[in-house]
Amino acid sequence: MTLKYIIYRDGKYFVAQCLNVDISSFGESIQDAKDNLKEAIELYFEGERGTEEVIQIDEVLFGETVVNV
């Protein structure tokens, strides 16, 4: 199964967020965050959870916007 994720910096850590299922992890480096996310996803699916919970994503676009709050 191929899953998509994003990684962003939060303070001194890198956070990896899976886009297909609601799972995230972090690490002190980008590689640590990726490795930790992979492990978290594998543990998530190790239980009784099925793949029916996976959102299929064909294309990922990134952007940002400014809002007045």
Asked whether residue 49 is assigned to any structural domain, the reply reads: yes
Tokens of 13: 């850590």
Q: What residue type is assigned to position 4 of the chain?
A: K
How many domains are there within the chain? 1
Domain that holds residue 47: 5-53
Instruction: Tell how far CA 51 is from the center of its chain.
Output: 16
Asked whether residue 61 is assigned to any structural domain, the reply reads: no
Q: What is the pLDDT of residue 37?
A: 98
> CB burial class (10 A; 0-12, 13-18, 19+) of residue 37?
buried
How does pLDDT run across 57-66, given as a tens digit for each residue? 999 999 999 9
The span from the CA of 12 to the CA of 28, in Å, is 7
Contact predicate 18/37, CB 8 Å:
yes
How does pLDDT run across 23-50, given as a tens digit for each residue? 999 999 999 999 999 999 999 988 776 7
Q: What is the pLDDT of residue 53?
A: 79
